[in-house]
Amino acid sequence: MFLAFLLDKRLVFVTGKGGVGKTTVSGCLALIAARRGKRVIVCEVAQEERGHDEVEIAPNIHSIAIDPEHAMREYLSDQVGTALSKLMTSSRIFMYLAAAAPGMRELLTIGKVWDLAQLDQRRTGDTPYDLVILDAPATGHALGMLRTPRTFRDVARVGPISRQAGRIDAFLRDPALTGIVAVASPEEMPVNETLDFLAALGSEFAIQPDAVVVNGVYPERFTTAEIERVLAADERHPASRAAVSEHRRARYHRGQLRRLRRRTAAVTLPFLFEADLGPREHERLSTVLEKRL
């Protein structure tokens, strides 16, 4: 029931400390939604020059890399027409000043995501999506993306930028339209950052995340009594040392998980002992997540 409510939103905003598995969780949510017949697009913020097209990467699942400069060109073309837009964006001074404006890159990025989430008024593209999943930057930058539309709405006050920023802000703050998933790993720093993020969401936006996912939790393979027997038998054997190390890591993970759960409910994804996560591993994790949400 809870998962159905999450996937019925128009946009799901996935964030967490860098390296905790935001992309993995975003992919799992996309797989779950696609299995339920939804047309999904996963957005990421482009870190390098690459294509900006909406590409189908699996049945009913699309992907796009959002570059703020490309988003600016689309926005200007929509607002002032193609010819004037090309003239403005061909000016290095204009592009430099626009990029340097505080919050402008965040506004352009979240504006493009908002546009993708529209069912009947998209500025770009033809076919609407049932669900947009944003594989957002780390929590600090993600909070900036959530704050920026209201800031521009209030600063501009009138005009097209103010009106559109206001619409985006209202969309992001509407829990019926936008969901937030916080991702952590069971380590001290990621848990700390997640707790700070939850506090900021509550104090600044008066909202709570729709889900908190703790990714990469070690399995509990041994009891304490079993580990004691292993050590008593031969504590120097490499297999014994490996068993003890894994047991301690699993206990540490559960300690961090308990610390997080004192503040909020959280679901877990297991650590997969694989060099790389391919389609099979993502399917496995998505099945686990679907059962636990």
CA distances from 74 to 53, 56, 58, 100, 109 (A): 12, 21, 26, 18, 11
Taking the CA atoms of the chain, what radius of gyration do you get in angstroms? 22
Res 161: pLDDT? 75
Res 230: pLDDT? 84
pTM of the model: 0.87
Tokens matching residue 69: 């400069």
CATH superfamily of this structure's domain 10-292: P-loop containing nucleotide triphosphate hydrolases (3.40.50.300)
Give φ, ψ of 33 to 5 degrees.
Answer: -65, -40
| CA dist., res. 211 & res. 5, Å (int) | 11
Per-residue pLDDT 10s for the chain (293 aa) are 567 788 899 999 999 999 999 999 999 999 999 999 999 999 998 765 555 788 999 999 999 998 866 666 665 555 444 544 444 444 454 444 455 555 677 887 888 899 899 887 555 556 789 999 999 999 998 999 999 889 888 887 777 778 888 999 999 999 999 999 999 999 999 999 999 999 999 999 999 999 999 999 999 988 889 888 888 888 888 888 888 889 999 999 999 999 999 999 999 999 998 888 999 999 999 999 999 98
Cβ neighbours of residue 115 closer than 8 Å, sequence gap 6 or more:
122, 123, 124
Res 79: pLDDT? 47
Instruction: Write down the residue that tokens 């402008």 correspond to.
Output: 104
| CA dist., res. 259 & res. 253, Å (int) | 10
